[in-house]
Structure 1
Amino acid sequence: MEIGISTFVETTPDVKTGEVISHAQRLREVVEEIVLADQVGLDVFGVGEHHREDFAASSPAVVLAAAAAQTKNIRLTSAVTVLSSADPVRVFQDFATVDGISNGRAEIMAGRGSFIESFPLFGYDIQDYHELFDEKLELLLKIRESEKVSWKGGHRPAINNRGVYPRPVQDPLPVWIGSGGNSESVVRAGRLGLPLVLAIIGGNPKQFAPLVQLYKRAATQAGHDVSKLPVASHSHGFIAEDTETAANKFFPSTQQVMNVIGRERGWPHYDRSSFDAARSLEGALYVGDPETVATKIIHLRKDVGITRFMLHVPLGTMPHEDVMKAIELLGTEVAPRVREEVGKWEAENN
C-alpha cells in the first residue's frame, strides 16, 4: 500500500486576512513540502496542472524537477497532466527529464482535466474534448514504446520517423490514467493496461468499488495481468494531533474553495454539516488525527481495492507550517499504521 500527497498549488485568498500568497512563494513552499514528504518516508507526491489565477502550477514537471534534485526515494508525478491540450512529445520530454534528474522516479498521470482554461489558452476547441484525449494518449504511448516515432492524427501535425529525447531511466515511463469516476475512462485504462487513479472527493468511497471491478474486468479481457495494475485514489484531507483541531483548521479554506468552484459548476452551498458528514467513516474527507485517517485509508483498501492513497492537502490556502505538520504525521504515524494493517489483512486473505 503506497501513501502519498497531491496538491494543486493553490493561491486562493486567505480566509481570515484576504491576503493572497504570491505564485512564487507558494511554488517554493511546495518544493519544501515534497522534500519533507521524502524525508518522512512517503511513497509519492503529485502536482496538478492548472491555468488560472488561483493555482500556481501550470507546469508540474518544472516543480517536480526542482524537487527531484533534493529528494532520494519519493516518486514524482503530475496530478494530472491535462493531456488533451498538451503536446504529447513535450510531455514525454519533460517527464523523461524529471526521470533522469530523479534517477527513475517520475510518473505521468494523464487526464482530460476538470478545469478547461487550457483549451482556449492553447488554441483547442472544447467540442473536441474527448477526441483530443484519445488521440494525444495514443501518441504519448507510442512515444514511450519506441525511440523513433511515426504517427498521424487529426489535431496535431504528423511525425515521420523522428526520435524523441531524452529517453527515461524507466522503461517504460509510467503513465497512469486519472478519472473522476467515468466508466468509459476506467474501461479505457483497463484495455490499455495502464494504472488507474480515481478522484474520490465526494459521496461514499464504496461507490467506487464497482468501477474498480469494471477496470479489472476490462484489463483481464484485454489480456493484462491485473495483479500488476495498481489502483490509486486522490482524496481531500488533513491531519493534526487531534481530530477536532484537524477539522477546525481544514474547514474554512475547504468551504471557500468548494463554494467558489461550486458557483462555477452549479453545486449546492457547502456548509459545516456537509463537511462533517464527509468526515464520517463512510465519507470521502480524510480529516482527523492519525488513527482516524489511517482507519479510513485501511477501509478504502479493503472495501474498494485501492493500492495507492494520495491525500490532497491543502485545499485552498492554509498556513505552510500546518501543511508541513500534516505531511509529517502522514509519513510518520498514518503510513506505518496503514502498511502494517494492510499487510496483515493481505496475508490472511492470500
Structure 2
Amino acid sequence: MATAVEFGLDSFGDVTVGPDGDKVPYAQVIRNLVEEAVLADRLGIDAFGLGEHHRDDYAVSSPEIVLAAIAARTERIRLGTAVTVLSSDDPVRVYERFATLDALARGRAEIILGRGSFTESFPLFGYNLADYDRLFEEKAELMAELLTEDAVTWQGTVRAPLTKQHVYPKTGSGGIRTWIGVGGSPESVVRAARLGFPLVLAVIGGEPARFAPYVQLYQRALAEFNREPLPVAVHVPGFVADTDQEAADLLWPHARAMLNRIGAERGWPPMTRQRFDNDISNGAWHVGSAETVARKVARTVRVLGVQRIDLKYSAGTLPHEHLLETIERYATDVVPRVRELLAAETTTTP
C-alpha cells in the first residue's frame, strides 16, 4: 500500500484542569491551544484542527479566530476545523472567514464541514431541529458552489437566493481545501461524493475496521458520479504516554467525566473502567505507549485505506501539560514509527 499518509492533530478546545484540579479559564484554554499548535508545527505535524462547539465544556466557538492566531506563529502546518457546523452557519460567511484565514496562513487553511455531534447551536442561532437534514443538504450544495470562487447563482429554502453573486476575498490558490465529516451515515457519505468533497470519517466509538464499508461506498459513489478519486481521512481519539498502563490510567478520570456527561445527555449507561479498557483494546481509542499507538494508527490506516489520520489528542479535562507531552510523543515517536510500519508492509506485499 502507499505510504504517503498525512498526520494531523485535532482538539475541541476541551476545558482542562490545572495543577490544583480547578478548571482553567476559557481564555487560558484558548491561549494554551495556540501553544499546542505551535508545538505541532515545530515538530512536523501536517495538520491541526479545532472543533466548533457552543457549550460550557469547550472553549472554542469560533475556530477560525483561534486558527488565525496560530497562523501568525506557524510556518507550514495546515490549519482547519473539526468540524465547522455548517447547518447553523451561513455558507457565505463561512467562505469569507476561511478565505481571510487562508490569506493570513498563506494558503494553509482548510475546512471540514459537518453537522456536529451536538445540537446546541440550533436553538442558539434560531434554527429548528426539524430542519436538521435540509439545512445541511442545502448549505453544503451552496458551499460547493462558493468554493469555485466564481459567480454563484443558487436558490434554496434556508437562506436568500444568490444571482451571479461573487464573494470576497478570493484566495491566492483559487480554492480552499474543504472536506465533509461523516459520523456513520451512508447518505452523508454519498452526499460528499456527489458534491465532490473529500471525506473525513469520525471514529468516536467501536473498532475502526467497521468503517471500511463507508470508504468502499464513497469510492463507488465517486465513480457513479463520474468524479475523480478523492482523499479519505479518519479522525480518532488518542493519547500517548510512556507505557500502556500509564496512558490508560492518566486518561481514564478525564475521559470518564467527559463521557458520562455526554452519556447522561443522550441516555447512555455510565462509562465503566472495563468498557473504557475494552474501547482501548479494540482500537476505538488509540491509547498507549508510542509503540502501541503507532501500531494502532498503522492498522487503522491499513484497514481503511485512508490518506490521512487525525488524532484527537484532547479528552475532557486532561491537563495542558499532558497534552503537550502527547503531542511531542506523537510527532517524534509515533509518526516516524507508523511510516516505518507502513513502508515495511509495502515492501513485503506481493
Name the TM-score, length of structure 2 as normaliser: 0.95
Q: How far off is 1:197 after superposition?
A: 0.8
Where does residue 81 of structure 1 map in the other structure? 84
Structure 2: give runs of 5+ residues left out of the alignment: none
C-alpha deviations, 1:18-55, integer Å up to 9, x for none?
62211100000001001100011111111000011111
For residues 202 and 84 of structure 2, the distance between their equivalents in structure 1, rounded to whole angstroms, comes to: 14
Mapped partners of 2:329, 2:307: distance in 1: 20
Tell me the residue number matched to 1:11.
15
Contact 1:234 / 1:312 at 8 angstroms: preserved in 2?
yes
SS in 2 for 1:169: coil
Matching of residue 329 in structure 1 with residue 329 in structure 2:
yes
Tell me how far apart the structure 1 counterparts of residues 191 and 164 of structure 2 sit (CA, whole Å): 27
Query: In 1, distance between residues paired with 2:87 and 2:294?
Result: 35
1:201 maps to what in 2? 204
Amino acid of the residue matched to residue 323 of structure 2? V
Q: Report the aligned-residue RMSD.
A: 1.6
- In structure 2, what is the equivalent of residue 131 of structure 1? 134
Deviations 1:247-287 (Å, cap 9, x if unpaired)?
1111110010000000000112111111111111x321111
> Helix, strand or coil: the match of 2:147?
helix
* Counterparts of residues 107-118 of structure 1 (less than 5 Å): 107-118=110-121
Q: Does 1:143 align with 2:146?
A: yes
CA pair 15-257 structure 1, distance change in 2 beyond 3 A = farther
Residues in 2 aligned to 1:283 and 1:192: alpha-carbon distance in whole angstroms: 31
Q: In structure 1, what residue type is equivalent to 2:327?
A: I
Question: Is contact 2:81–2:110 with CA below 8 Å preserved after alignment?
Answer: yes
Contact 1:68 1:102 in 2 (8 A): yes
Report the secondary structure of 1:21's partner residue.
coil
Task: Provide the C-alpha distance between the structure 2 equivalents of 1:59 and 1:274, rounded to a whole number of angstroms.
Answer: 33
- Aligned 8 A contact 1:206 1:300 in 2: yes
Change (3 A) 1:193 1:147: closer
CA–CA separation in structure 1 for the residues paired with 2:18 and 2:235: 24
The correspondence for 1:96, drawn from 92, 99, 121, is 99
Match of 2:303 in 1: 303
1:164 equivalent among 153, 164, 167: 167
The whole-number CA distance in structure 2 between the counterparts of 1:331 and 1:195 is: 24
Matched, 1:214 2:217: yes
In structure 2, give the amino acid aligned to 1:332.
T
2:138 partner amino acid: E
The superposition leaves residues 147-181 of structure 1 with CA deviations (integer Å, 9 ceiling, x where unpaired) of 32222211111222232111123332111010111
User: Is the aligned partner of 1:244 residue 2:245?
Assistant: yes
Three-state SS of the structure 2 residue aligned to 1:223 is coil
1:183 paired residue among 181, 186, 189 = 186
Alpha-carbon separation, structure 2, partners of 1:101 and 1:58: 20
Answer whether contact 1:8 1:50 (CA < 8 A) is retained: yes
What's the secondary structure of 1:3's corresponding residue?
strand
- Report % sequence identity: 49
Matched-pair contact (CA < 8 Å) for 2:263–2:269: yes
Contact 1:84 1:136 in 2 (8 A): yes
Aligned to 1:345: 345
Task: Give the whole-Å Cα distance in 1 for the aligned partners of 2:232 and 2:50.
Answer: 18
Secondary structure (helix, strand or coil) at the match of 1:109 reads strand
| More displaced stretch, 337-346 vs 46-55 | 337-346
Counterpart of 1:331 in 2: which secondary structure? Answer: helix
- Partners of 2:297 and 2:211 lie apart in 1 by 14
Matched residues in 2 for 1:277 and 1:17: separation?
Answer: 30
Superposed displacement of residue 224, structure 1:
1.8
**Paired residues of 2:18 and 2:319 also in contact (CA < 8 A):** no
Structure 1 equivalent of residue 39 of structure 2: 36
| Counterparts of 1:150 and 1:17, CA distance in 2 | 56
Deviation digits for residues 87-107 of structure 1 (CA, Å, limit 9, x no counterpart): 101101111111111111111
Aligned length: 346
The structure-2 alpha-carbon separation of the partners of 1:300 and 1:121, relative to structure 1 and needing over 3 Å to count, comes to same
Contact 1:147 1:165 in 2 (8 A): no
User: After superposition, what is the alpha-carbon deviation per residue over 1:197-223, rounded to whole angstroms, capped at 9, x for unaligned?
Assistant: 111121111111111101111011111
